[in-house]
């Protein structure tokens, strides 16, 4: 064993050079420092909504993330309605939930099949996986498409919903669209069974099991849990959780709860709400060999698969109920500008998402705070990177890189959603 | 089911990220351009091309407009016909697929997309900072980019 200092640097976790990556420094086998350098675009987006009217906010913030555009739009709308004391109809709540379920279905399917599965099956990318196992990738694309269609029918666009506005919906779906959705969701249920079967056949991954603090919503409160110990926070007190200290070895801010990193996302949701499992989800838990509460962050992938079952079942239940009961055309509730503050916390695909806005008399935003799941997960990821490296029998860079990359992907981080510039220095014609 | 038009124009990017949103701005301009023929649909497509798989599958020709980090001077237009730039064997993205990866994936899994003709127009940008307006240089390029798209319909 050598006592010289070495550095493991993974520079390809983000889409834009210079904005992302993981760096781990070691002295011999001892890990000295771990840092995840994230491009924290969402923090800067707050400046874009300051000075904007309340009814512009959801459209702007939905652009923060292409995958979580519905969550950002909904979080903004809910915060606005709280600040303006708006009560919406049961139909609005049902349609919002449906749209949100669509986003979660889409995001989980994309992550599990196109980003995580290649890791487990030892393929460099989804494209390489598709060449060998096209049916597997097609299954993932079908499930992703189901989520897209839900968002498009309710939200009015394939991406960045426009129908959902403060007070309700600008346009309601037609009965024919709901009948089509029901049919697609019934097919989706079958696809979901196949997805769980596929994921249960993947090789196990348990190389970074460690005591972990989890945070997720239970009803409308944030619950923070470690082992059997739980604490409950009201949404208005979210800063206790998202205190955003700058870490000593990183440029990015870190959220700590009582000086401890915490994990948000699918695994946190299941660990904190095990009683919410439906019969189908319980069967998936057993098929996947997922033992709740799990402190293995790699189980976040399995938790997403279980959630796919829950999400599709719930969406189907809402659609069936709407078809059965029907709905009347209704205009959105009028929203009058009102000075005040509104906080909304919801579960985005990757975990807790918090939007907080303060408005002046005329309804213009004077303060904004958007806290994303990946910002909350950053310190927890570093904690688990450290565990993975320390526990690894081999300290070969290739072995460590593979483990750390797999772990990073299991967290399903949103490091690169804000910018998607491509590199174009290959052949082509300059026009 | 909605009738698809044979030509689909998708402007890619994030308009909150300055020049990264150039594709979206071009799509907005084209949507109100009287020269846009009836057989073409144009959308501000955001940054997740996989979401447009159904629309792509129903088209004969797809034109993508995207910002690109490039060694070329900012504003330079590069046009790829038939063959798109190659994608690295290993995806470096943890969150979603780049447009080129998305096309490669869709082509390999959906035969109806394998036959679609793609044209990619990239606009060289030097940076993409958080902010809604385009840089003056890229803003001034918009009419030229629109002309180039229309020439290819």
Dist CA A29 CA A2 (whole Å): 8
Q: Do B99 and A422 touch (CB under 8 A)?
A: yes
Q: Do A67 and B48 touch (CB under 8 A)?
A: yes
Number of Cα atoms under 13 Å in the Cβ half of residue A19? 19
Entry field: residues in chain A: 431
Beta carbons of A414 and A350 less than 8 angstroms apart: yes
For residue A102, what are the contacts with CB-CB under 8 A and spacing of at least 6? Answer: A70, A146, A147, A148, A149, A150, A151, A154, A155, A315
- A-chain residues within 8 Å CB-CB of B94? 13-14, 115, 408-409, 412-413, 415-416
pLDDT of residue A124: 83
pLDDT band at B86 (very low <50, low <70, confident <90, very high): low
**Rounded mean pLDDT, A277-302:** 96
- Is the confidence at residue A357, as pLDDT, over 80? yes
Least CB–CB distance from B87: residue in A14, A127, A429: A127
Least CB–CB distance from A424: residue in B91, B122, B130: B122
For residue B128, what are the contacts with CB-CB under 8 A and spacing of at least 6? Answer: A16, A419, A421, B14, B17, B18, B19, B20, B67
Q: Do B69 and A421 touch (CB under 8 A)?
A: yes
Dist CA B145 CA B65 (whole Å): 9
DSSP per position, A208-241: -----EEEEEETTEEEEEETTEEEEE-GGGGGGT
User: N- to C-terminal Cα distance for chain A?
Assistant: 57
Note the pLDDT tens digit of each residue in B104-123. Answer: 889 889 889 999 999 999 99
Which residues of A241-379 form beta strands (DSSP E)? 245-246, 253-254, 262-263, 340-348, 351-359, 365-371
Beta carbons of B133 and B139 less than 8 angstroms apart: yes
pLDDT of residue A292: 94
Interface confidence: ipTM more than 0.85:
no
- B-chain residues within 8 Å CB-CB of A159? 45-46, 48, 51
pTM score of the predicted model: 0.90
Note the pLDDT tens digit of each residue in A375-416. Answer: 889 899 999 999 999 999 998 989 998 898 889 889 888 764
User: N- to C-terminal Cα distance for chain B?
Assistant: 24
Nearest-neighbour CA in chain A from B37: distance (Å): 22
Kindly state whether B127 is in contact with chain A, defined as any CB-CB distance less than 8 angstroms.
Answer: no
Beta carbons of A342 and A356 less than 8 angstroms apart: yes
Which of the pair, A17 or A31, is modelled with greater confidence? A31
- B-chain residues within 8 Å CB-CB of A16? 69, 128
**Rounded mean pLDDT, A321-335:** 95
Q: Do B108 and A427 touch (CB under 8 A)?
A: no
Nearest to A192 by CA among A125, A115, A108: A108
Kindly state whether B124 is in contact with chain A, defined as any CB-CB distance less than 8 angstroms.
Answer: yes
Locus of tokens 């834009």: A16
pLDDT of residue A312: 98
- A-chain residues within 8 Å CB-CB of B77? 430-431
**Rounded mean pLDDT, A405-428:** 59
Percentage of the residues of chain A whose pLDDT score is greater than 90: 65
**In a 3-state reduction of DSSP, which class is residue A353?**
strand
- B-chain residues within 8 Å CB-CB of A419? 14, 17, 20, 128
Kindly state whether B70 is in contact with chain A, defined as any CB-CB distance less than 8 angstroms.
Answer: yes
- Is the confidence at residue A417, as pLDDT, over 80? no
Q: In the structure, how many helices (H) and strands (E) does chain A have?
A: 13, 16
- State the best of A20, A419, A423, A430 to mutate against chain B, taking most chain B CBs within 10 Å: A419
- B-chain residues within 8 Å CB-CB of A125? 89-91, 101
pLDDT of residue A236: 93
Report the chain B residue with the minimal C-alpha distance to residue A60.
Answer: B16
- Is the confidence at residue A80, as pLDDT, over 70? yes
Report the chain A residue with the minimal C-alpha distance to residue B44.
Answer: A159
Q: From the CA atom positions of chain A, what is the Rg in Å?
A: 22
pLDDT of residue A167: 97
Tell me the two tokens of residue B149. 């798209």
Number of Cα atoms under 13 Å in the Cβ half of residue A25? 7
pLDDT band at A253 (very low <50, low <70, confident <90, very high): low
Least CB–CB distance from A421: residue in B20, B72, B109: B20
- Is the confidence at residue A40, as pLDDT, over 80? no
- A-chain residues within 8 Å CB-CB of B130? 41, 44-45, 47-48, 418
Q: Which stretch of DSSP H or E encloses residue B124?
A: strand B117-125
pLDDT of residue A109: 95
pLDDT of residue A221: 97
Least CB–CB distance from B16: residue in A13, A48, A145: A48
Kindly state whether B67 is in contact with chain A, defined as any CB-CB distance less than 8 angstroms.
Answer: yes
pLDDT of residue A429: 33
- Omega before B115 within 30 of 0, i.e. cis: no
Q: Do B81 and A413 touch (CB under 8 A)?
A: no
Report the chain A residue with the minimal C-alpha distance to residue B12.
Answer: A420
pLDDT band at A41 (very low <50, low <70, confident <90, very high): very low
Nearest-neighbour CA in chain B from A2: distance (Å): 31
Find which of A114-118, A143-147, A409-413, B103-107 is predicted with most confidence, using mean pLDDT.
A143-147
Note the pLDDT tens digit of each residue in A257-284. Answer: 988 999 999 999 999 999 989 999 999 9
Note the pLDDT tens digit of each residue in A42-58. Answer: 456 788 899 999 999 99
pLDDT of residue B33: 97
Which of the pair, B82 or A260, is modelled with greater confidence? A260
Beta carbons of A71 and A348 less than 8 angstroms apart: yes
Note the pLDDT tens digit of each residue in B5-17. Answer: 999 999 998 888 8
Dist CA A349 CA A66 (whole Å): 12
Exposed/middle/buried for A70, CB within 10 Å: 0-12, 13-18, 19+?
Answer: buried
Note the pLDDT tens digit of each residue in B15-74. Answer: 888 898 999 999 999 999 999 999 999 999 988 888 899 899 999 999 999 988 777 899
Q: How far is CA B91 from each of CA A180, A203, A405, B14, rounded to the nearest angstrom?
A: 35, 21, 12, 21
pLDDT of residue B20: 87
Kindly state whether B119 is in contact with chain A, defined as any CB-CB distance less than 8 angstroms.
Answer: no
Size of interface A-B (CB pairs under 8 A): 175
Q: C-alpha angle A310/A315/A321, rounded to 5°?
A: 125
Locus of tokens 């970074």: A208
């Amino acid at each position: 064993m050598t006592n010289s200092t070495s550095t493991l640097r993974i520079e390809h976790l983000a889409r834009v050079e210079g904005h992302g990556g993981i760096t781990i420094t070691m002295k011999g086998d001892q890990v000295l420092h771990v840092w995840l350098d994230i491009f924290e675009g969402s923090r800067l987006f707050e400046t874009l909504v300051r000075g904007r009217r309340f009814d512009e906010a959801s459209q702007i913030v939905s652009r923060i993330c292409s995958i979580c555009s519905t969550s950002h739009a909904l979080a903004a709308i809910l915060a606005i309605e709280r600040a303006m004391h708006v009560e919406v109809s049961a139909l609005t709540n049902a349609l919002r939930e449906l749209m949100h379920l669509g986003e979660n279905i889409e995001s989980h399917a994309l992550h599990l099949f196109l980003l995580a599965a290649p890791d487990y099956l030892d393929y460099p990318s989804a494209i390489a996986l598709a060449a060998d196992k096209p049916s597997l990738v097609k299954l993932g694309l079908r499930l992703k498409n189901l989520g897209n269609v839900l968002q498009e029918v309710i939200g009015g666009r394939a991406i960045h919903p426009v129908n959902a506005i403060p007070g309700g919906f600008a346009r309601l779906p037609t009965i024919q669209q709901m009948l089509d959705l029901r049919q697609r969701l019934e097919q989706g249920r079958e696809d979901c069974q196949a997805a769980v079967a596929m994921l249960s056949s993947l090789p196990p991954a348990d190389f970074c099991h460690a005591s972990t603090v989890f945070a997720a919503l239970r009803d409308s409160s944030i619950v923070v849990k470690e082992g059997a110990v739980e604490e409950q926070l009201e949404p208005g007190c979210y800063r206790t959780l998202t205190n955003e200290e700058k870490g000593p070895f990183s440029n990015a801010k870190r959220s700590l709860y009582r000086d401890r990193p915490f994990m948000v996302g699918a695994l946190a949701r299941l660990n904190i709400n095990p009683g919410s499992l439906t019969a189908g989800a319980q069967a998936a838990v057993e098929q996947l060999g997922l033992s709740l509460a799990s402190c293995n962050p790699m189980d976040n992938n399995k938790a997403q698969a279980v959630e796919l079952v829950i999400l599709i079942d719930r969406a189907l239940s809402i659609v069936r109920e709407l078809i059965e009961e029907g709905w009347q055309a209704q205009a959105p509730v009028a929203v009058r500008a009102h000075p005040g503050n509104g906080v909304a916390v919801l579960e985005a695909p990757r975990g807790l998402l918090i939007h907080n806005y303060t408005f002046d008399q005329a309804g213009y935003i004077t303060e904004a705070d958007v806290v994303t799941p990946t910002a909350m997960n950053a310190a927890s990821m570093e904690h688990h990177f450290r565990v993975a490296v320390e526990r690894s029998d081999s300290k070969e860079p290739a072995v460590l890189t593979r483990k750390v990359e797999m772990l990073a992907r299991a967290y399903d981080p949103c490091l690169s959603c804000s910018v998607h510039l491509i590199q174009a220095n290959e052949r082509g014609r300059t026009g | 089911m909605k009738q698809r038009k044979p030509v689909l124009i998708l402007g890619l990017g994030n308009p909150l990220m300055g020049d990264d949103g150039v594709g979206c701005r071009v799509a907005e301009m084209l949507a109100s351009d009287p020269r846009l023929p009836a057989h073409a649909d144009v959308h501000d497509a955001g940054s997740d091309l996989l979401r447009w798989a159904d629309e792509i599958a129903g088209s004969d020709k797809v034109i993508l407009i995207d910002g690109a980090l490039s060694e070329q001077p900012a504003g330079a237009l590069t046009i790829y016909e038939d063959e798109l730039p190659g994608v690295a064997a290993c995806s470096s993205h943890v969150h979603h697929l780049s447009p080129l990866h998305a096309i490669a994936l869709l082509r390999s899994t959906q035969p109806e997309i394998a036959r679609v003709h793609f044209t990619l127009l990239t606009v060289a940008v030097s940076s993409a900072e958080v902010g809604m307006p385009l840089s003056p240089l890229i803003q001034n390029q918009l009419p030229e980019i629109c002309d180039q798209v229309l020439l290819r319909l």
